[in-house]
Amino acid sequence: MERNDFDKMLRDRLERVTEPAPDVWEGIDRELTRRHRRILFRRFSIGAVAAAASLAVALLVYRDLRPERHVEAPVTTVAEVQQESSSEPAAVEIAPIAEQISRLGEDRLVAQAKTAHAAMADQSGTPISAEPVQPSEEPVKEPAAEPAEETVVSVEPANPVENEDGKLSMEDLPEDFWREDVPDTKAHTSTISILSNLTTVASDGDLIYRASPMHSSSQSGSRQATSLVEPVSGTPKFFSPFSLGLQIEFPLAGSVYASTGLTYSYLVSQYDMLVDKQLFEGSYNQLHYLGVPLSLSWHFVESPSFALYASAGGAVEKCIYQRYVFGSNTLHEKVGGLQWSARIGLGAEYWMAPRLGLYFDPSLVYFFDNGQPLSIRTQQPLQARFEIGLRFKL
């Protein structure tokens, strides 16, 4: 039999062979189910971000439409000041108000009440004694040798709108009277944050073979000119990137804050790669980045213990270490250039203690093509990121 005849006969025989593959479809079914779940998670993530954005817009609209409230008063209100014209010194009853304020456990208010009261007395030209600051059943009065008209400050749950002429309402108090008594946990103070975040991985990619090194140079970044490693066609797998960082946030103006800091990111990819012309399937690439973020945030809902904010900014990152793991070997390669990214997001922060807060900051991040090594950032430039961290007021 000639060589060609042998080849042809062999080809014909093997062409016709059929053989059922055992248990393959179960594995395929499992893998497809896993992929389906991943797709659902990706859609859920996008939906969550969209819902958060919608909520933020709704809150903004509501905030704009809502009528402004002149004073956000606590429960205790100063209702009226009974004043009768007299040239004599007047005794003032401030015990009830002091008592009520003391019940709130705010000693500072007592002093403020006294100050405010003194101011009112000055306006009316009536000397006032504000001695009694301790809770008492009896109103404390100035001793008066002669009958004197009294200026009485009493506390009752009255509606400040129902003022009558000649009566002093809470609106006559200094503007910052009540504001200062609210525990200030956030107002325009710098914070420092410890953060970590996870990024959704929505792409397994369909890596197309490229004969030349995949990481071409670009204007804003340059990778090493030659690499021993080339990704090849296959189905790369990208693990969720993980970041840790330290950020400081400081107020700029009004409810606008700026933040910057230092972040560390770790990216792992698994794909088939040619290492010095030899193929290694399912090998790993590990990337370590250090970055400096810079962002502005606007707190559109801000209360003493809770805030919602929108933020936008960017980051520049430098790959400080890259390692390939193929078979039992490892290879280190330097990575040139910088990774630039932009992000927008919405966040919420909750102050659990006067100086300790927790925040959650979902955002969308776009990684620009800066010639960086193959990773989830090059395959899926737009990513949903979920950042969580602790915030400490400085």
Partner 1 sequence: MYPVCVRYLGREDAKDVLQDGFLTVFDKIGTYKGEGSFEGWMRKIFVNACLMRIRKGDVLRYSEDISESPELGGTMDYGVMEQIGTKEILDLVAQLPPGLRSAFNLFVLDGYSHAEVGELLGITEQSSRSQVSRARSLLQEKIKKLYNGTK
- Residues near partner 1 (CB under 8 A) are 1-3, 5-7, 9-11, 13-14, 16-24, 27-28, 31-32, 206, 232-235, 272, 277-282, 327
208 versus 356: smaller Cβ distance to partner 1: 208
C-beta separation of 331 from 293 below 8 A: no
How does strand 151-155 pair with strand 92-93? parallel
Q: What's the rounded Cα separation, in Å, for the pair 126 and 394? A: 44
CB of 1 to partner 1, least distance (A): 5
Tell me how many degrees the CA angle 269-272-276 measures, rounded to the nearest 5: 110
CB of 278 to partner 1, least distance (A): 5
C-alpha closest to that of 345 among 363, 359, 366, 365:
363
Q: What's the rounded Cα separation, in Å, for the pair 293 and 317? A: 8
The two structure tokens encoding residue 328: 């039992």
CB of 25 to partner 1, least distance (A): 8
**Which residues lie closer than 8 Å to 122 by C-beta, 6 or more apart?**
none
CA distances in angstroms from 46 to 139, 239, 321, listed in the order given = 63, 18, 31
3 versus 69: smaller Cβ distance to partner 1: 3
CB of 203 to partner 1, least distance (A): 11
CB of 375 to partner 1, least distance (A): 20
C-alpha closest to that of 249 among 294, 199, 213:
294
CB of 271 to partner 1, least distance (A): 11
Mapped onto helix, strand or coil, the DSSP state of residue 140 is coil
CB of 272 to partner 1, least distance (A): 6
CB of 332 to partner 1, least distance (A): 21
Tell me the CA end-to-end span of the chain in Å, nearest whole number: 90
Q: Crossing angle for the helix pair 107-124 and 95-103, nearest 10 degrees? A: 150
Q: How many CB atoms lie within 10 A of CB 363?
A: 23
CB of 16 to partner 1, least distance (A): 7
7 versus 175: smaller Cβ distance to partner 1: 7
205 versus 345: smaller Cβ distance to partner 1: 205
**Which residues lie closer than 8 Å to 217 by C-beta, 6 or more apart?**
223, 337, 371
24 versus 161: smaller Cβ distance to partner 1: 24
5 versus 138: smaller Cβ distance to partner 1: 5
111-117: Cβ within 8 A, 24+ apart? 112/177, 112/180, 112/181, 115/174, 116/173, 116/174, 116/177, 117/92, 117/153
Cα R_g (the chain), whole angstroms: 35
The sign of the torsion formed by the CA atoms of 372, 378, 382, 386 equals negative
